[in-house]
Structure formats: structure tokens, C-alpha cells
Amino acid sequence: MDAKVGARRRWAVSAGDLTQAAVFAALIAALGLPGTLTIGPSGVPITVQTLGVMLAGSILGPRKGALAVALFAILAIAGLPILAGARTGLVSLASPTAGFFVGWLPAAVVIGALTALMMPRYRVLWGIVINVVGGMAVIYAFGTVGLMIRADLSWWAALSTNGIYVAGDLAKAVVTALVAAQVHRARPGLIAPWGRRRAATADD
């Protein structure tokens, strides 16, 4: 089968995919209900919603996980106050939190892609590493750039502000891996291994 057709098939979205993505978009919104905790001078709040982003990528994979975060972001930018602290997407994009918010989508893609490479067996230790890479390093990178632009901080000052979030985000990475392991054990097949996808595509 033509490589372009295979790529389109891998990223095609079914009604079931939309349903799963919508559930996780709602989960991310629900995790914003506890509100925010702002520590430090950067103005970037601590929220639980990044846990939802990690869960979306770890449980749904790169395609459906990205779709879940994209649905959430579209609703937030459209004006729904579903970001933690009852903020909208436009408010976030105009604030020092802009980079962190933008980083959620690539974070879900990276976590989902690396998790797909690990499947069909989900390993908690590797899951934690993947969540740290995608859910922390990727989001921190985007957040650092956002702080440099929105808060007019130097590169080092912007990067240093992430330090206060590390402990909490590490806890989220661990929780996500533990939950994902249980989900994949109970519902195998939520994420198709990428190697198996390529093999199936080649046989079509």
C-alpha cells in the first residue's frame, strides 16, 4: 500500500476515537476544578491539568491523545473557562502561562508516540521516564520560551522558574504511569504498537 495512504489510515479518526478523546478532554477540564496555586514571581500557577495531558498521551496514544488535548484547547480558546482558575484559552495565551498551555499538545504527542513504541506491554518504569520527557521536558521547554516572551525574562531566569514545579510534576508522572499500566492491563489494544502498525500497513 502507498506510504501516504498508510499514514492517512494511521491518523484517521473514527467515532470511537472521538468519543475517547472527548472523555479525556472532559477529564482535563475536570482536573482544573480544584483551581490553581501560584508560587513564585513568574505568575505561572500550579494546576492538576497537566496530569490529564499525561494521561491522555499515556492511555490513548499520540493520535487520540493529541485529539483530546486539541479538543480541550479549542473549547478553551473559544471562550469556555475550563482552564484552572476559570480562565479561558485567550486569557492564558496573553499571560506568562502561554508557553505551558501551547506545550500541552506536543507533550501529548510525544508521550503517546513513545508509549506506542513501548507497547504492547506497558512498563511502569519506562512509563515514568516517558512522562518526564513528554510531560515535563517538552512542556517546560515551551513554557520557558513563553516566559521569555510574555514576562520578558532572560533564558536562564525563565528556565529557573520551572524548578518549583519539578516535585509536583514528578509525582504526576509516577501517578500517570501507575494508572496507565492498570488501564492497559485491563483494556489491551488502546494503543497499537507502532511496529505492528507498520507491519500491518506493509501487508495491506
Tens-place pLDDT, residues 62-103: 999 999 999 999 999 999 999 988 899 999 999 888 999 999
Q: What is the CA radius of gyration of the chain?
A: 17
Spans of the chain, pLDDT less than 50: 1, 5, 196-204
pTM for this prediction: 0.85
Is 49 part of a structural domain of the chain?
A: yes
Residue 153 lies in a domain: yes
CATH number at residue 12: 1.10.1760.20
Q: What are phi and psi of 83, to 5 degrees?
A: -80, 150
Q: How many domains does the chain have?
A: 1
Residue at 199 is within a domain: no
The reply to whether 200 falls in a domain is no
* Residue 15, in any domain of the structure: yes
- Note down the domain range covering 80: 3-194
